Structure 1
Amino acid sequence: MEEEIESIPLPKEATSYFRVTYLSELLINLILSTGVAVALYFSAWSIWYAIPLFVITILWIMYRWGWYAEQRRKNVWYQIYEDRIVLHSGVWSKNLVTIPMFRIQHVSIRRGPLLRHYKLSNVTFYTAGSAYDISGMQVDKAQEVKDVVISLAKAREEY
């Protein structure tokens, strides 16, 4: 039987990164809500129809900015075994993906300006069929994961 390997969660800095990435979505929602309210004000419709829209928008902002960003960080973890990688993600809809080591073609680390600011990175595992991301990993941990996965994938290939 295989030994139990610890689940590796994302760092707390990932919550701040997720919140800032949601900022553009939230600003677009707020701008659209304001545009609809202005259009209602100048049309025959009553401005009172815009109030529920603003309430829903504010609740959506509070949800995404507050609760959801933290839950996203808490619900993303991964495990690396000798023969596979297990990725878990999802707040409402849970996803559990198992990637066999012999299927991995290459691994990349991506760091945009926002990720560099929070000292985080994204690791992507590429197979012939698709790509799997882990967003919000610490830089040194991402490099360690990349090196371990590449060495295990090579070992499986030679085996």
Structure 2
Amino acid sequence: MKKKTLLKKIRYRRKHWDSTVEAIVKKGLEKERISDKWFVKDSIAHITWYEKELLDALEKKSIVESEFWNMSVKDRNEMIFNKTQEKSFDEILEDSRSTFDALLVKIESLSNEELCSDVYIRRKSDTRVTWDFIGGITFWHYEDHEDLFIELFDLDYGL
């Protein structure tokens, strides 16, 4: 996927994600539980943490030395949950916005060749095309969590 298309897709899905979060806030549901353990803020913090780790991976061009990427998904998610419990909903929301803005700047700086490379980000054992890695942390990730919110809170998909 070329950069122009990737950025359009990220911005579109992020707009959708932000709209869903805004709908939750407007309905006063931001303090609702979404699982046995997680609340709405935990889902936002989770996505934000992954975006921060993606930004770090794009800057270092590697995830080999990353403690985060070398954990199991379950352990990653538990670590994020534990490290973000003291933050308020508003702090998490602000962190989410600023992290996304920084991530966009970094993605905009990448070339089409870097985005389509399967070796731009060094990994321990496998390869993955850069834009696909970015998509997994951004637009596909937003959609997964957005679907949960829409189902739980009976929200609309419209913007």
Q: Which has the higher helix share?
A: 2
Q: Please confirm whether the aligned pair reaches a TM-score higher than 0.5, indicating the same fold.
A: no
Bigger RCO of structures 1 and 2 (CA < 8 A, at least 6 apart) = 2
TM-score, with structure 2 as normaliser: 0.28
Q: Which has the higher strand share?
A: 1
